[in-house]
Amino acid sequence: MLRVEKVSKTFYKGTVNEKVALDNVSVQLAPGDFVTVIGGNGAGKSTLLNAVAGVYPVDGGEGRIYIDGRDVTKMAEHQRARYIGRVFQDPMLGTAAGMMLRENLALAARRGKRLGLKWGLPAGETAFYKERLRALDLGLEERLDAKVGLLSGGQRQAVTLLMAVLQRPPLLLLDEHTAALDPKTAEKVLQLTEQIVSENNLTTLMITHNMRDAIAMGNRLIMMEEGKMIIDLAGEDKKNLTVARLLEAFEQVSHKSFTQDTALLSK
């Protein structure tokens, strides 16, 4: 479903600030894979997701990115958007605050479609939006005409998540989408994430700083360090994973001790 082949990304190439954020990364996700991604600050997790989403071009050369069999390496961000649902860390980034909930959903319902001079808010779509909002169980189905800026951070993340999957995309990218929320709200949004991903059988990459969540969720876990994937566990290995085992695996493959680099990961 997603195939990343030998992709590198260097920021500020050829300057003293040169930074290799992705170092020849290859990874393949099967349809329905739910992969959690962990790693210390600056490990390259966000760069990986942004490279897949097309936020910036990757280094030239043999690096290739395929979604659903299509080579998207050279596609602009807005062209790939039709294949990708995204939720960002900052709840402000996923929605247009000054527009109504209804308008945000309408834009998401048209993702990747050719926009025309048809009225953007046909009355016939209201029932569909209400039904999907009701599934979030946050009472938002009554607030279709509210400006999204009036919603709480957690509600906005839930809405962004819904917008991301409204068209059942081939690929869902979540970049620490609960990191800015209080623990209770984060819990709720994670629950929704699991529910939505499994109901729609979505192929998903989810970055998290929380090791427990990374272990508890999904069917595969990847750990990144210095632009490389240093751990990739799936199947039974992933099912039986514990924090202790993960730390052990980390110390085996990494030249650093756990506390030095990864202490920022919360157990």
Ligand X SMILES: Nc1ncnc2c1ncn2[C@@H]1O[C@H](COP(=O)(O)OP(=O)(O)OP(=O)(O)O)[C@@H](O)[C@H]1O
Residue count at the site for Mg ion (CB under 5 A)? 1
- Compute CA 168 distance to the chain's CA centroid, rounded to the nearest angstrom: 14
Task: Choose which of 3, 5, 19, 153 interacts with ligand X (CB under 6 A).
Answer: 19
Task: Choose which of 24, 46, 126, 167 interacts with ligand X (CB under 6 A).
Answer: 46
Q: How near is the Cβ of 10 to ligand X at its closest, in Å?
A: 9
Residue nearer to another protein on the CB measure, 175 or 226: 175
Residue nearest to Mg ion (CB): 46
Q: Give 258: exposed, middle or buried? Use CB within 10 Å, 0-12, 13-18, 19+.
A: middle
First to last CA, the chain: 30
β pairing state of 64-67 and 34-39:
unpaired
Residue nearer to ligand X on the CB measure, 45 or 188: 45
Q: How near is the Cβ of 6 to Mg ion at its closest, in Å?
A: 22
Residue nearer to another protein on the CB measure, 202 or 221: 202
How far CA 188 is from CA of 27, 107, 146, in Å, comes to 30, 25, 22
Task: Choose which of 39, 54, 94, 169 interacts with ligand X (CB under 6 A).
Answer: 39
**What tokens appear for 255 in the block?**
């030249």
241 binds, among ligand X, another protein, Mg ion, none (CB under 5 to 8 A by kind): none
Q: What is the spatial distance between Cα 149 and Cα 156, in angstroms, rounded to a whole number? A: 8
Site for ligand X in 91-110 (CB under 6 A): none
Residue count at the site for ligand X (CB under 6 A)? 11
46 binds Mg ion, rule: CB under 5 A: yes
Asked if 204 contacts 196 with a C-beta cutoff of 8 angstroms, the reply is: no
Nearest of 142, 136, 139 to residue 102 by alpha carbon: 142
Q: What is the spatial distance between Cα 164 and Cα 169, in angstroms, rounded to a whole number? A: 8
Q: How near is the Cβ of 236 to another protein at its closest, in Å?
A: 35
Which residues contact another protein by CB under 8 A? Answer: 53, 76-79, 81-82, 84, 86, 88, 92-99, 103-104, 106-108, 110-113, 115-121, 163
42 binds Mg ion, rule: CB under 5 A: no
Q: What is the spatial distance between Cα 66 and Cα 220, in angstroms, rounded to a whole number? A: 19
Q: What is the spatial distance between Cα 23 and Cα 80, in angstroms, rounded to a whole number? A: 23
Q: Which residues bind Mg ion (CB under 5 A)?
A: 46
Q: Which residues bind ligand X (CB under 6 A)?
A: 11, 19, 21, 39, 41-47
